[in-house]
Amino acid sequence: LENLGALQDRFDVLDLTDNAIVRLENFPRFERLHVLLVSRNRINHIPNALISQMPSLTTLVAAHNRIENLTQLSALGRSKTLEMLELVGNPVSSQKHFRAFVITLIPSLRYL
């Protein structure tokens, strides 16, 4: 991801759906951002830095990506604001203890 700094933290919602994104990295700090839409990309994990770069994030829609195991979601446990998480269509969502793991990992979560 390049040139995101040009956005200058002016938006509440950022839609990067269908962009062939492989990694969620190189984000500037987005204090205002509440909603990140990254469905239908090729993302295989949520990096630790994402939560610190988006401290107000309440909604993450990352459906239909390539997240395969529960440990690839561990960074989300650092969020104190995340309320809605959409991961349908990722291999991880069909794992046996997926829901229980995510609900325990993210206490602020209301919708999964």
The pLDDT score that the predictor gives to residue 5 is 53
The pLDDT score that the predictor gives to residue 6 is 46
Measure the CA–CA gap between 85 and 71, rounded to whole angstroms.
16
The pLDDT score that the predictor gives to residue 4 is 54
pLDDT per residue rounded down to tens, the chain (112 residues): 554 554 566 789 999 999 999 999 888 889 999 999 999 999 999 999 999 999 999 999 999 999 999 999 999 999 999 999 999 999 999 999 999 999 999 999 999 9
Measure the CA–CA gap between 50 and 62, rounded to whole angstroms.
13
pLDDT in tens, 44-56: 999 999 999 999 9
Q: Other C-beta atoms within 10 Å of 52: how many?
A: 13
Fold for 4-105, please state it.
3.80.10
**CB contact set of 72 (below 8 Å; sequence gap of 6+):** 44, 45, 46, 92
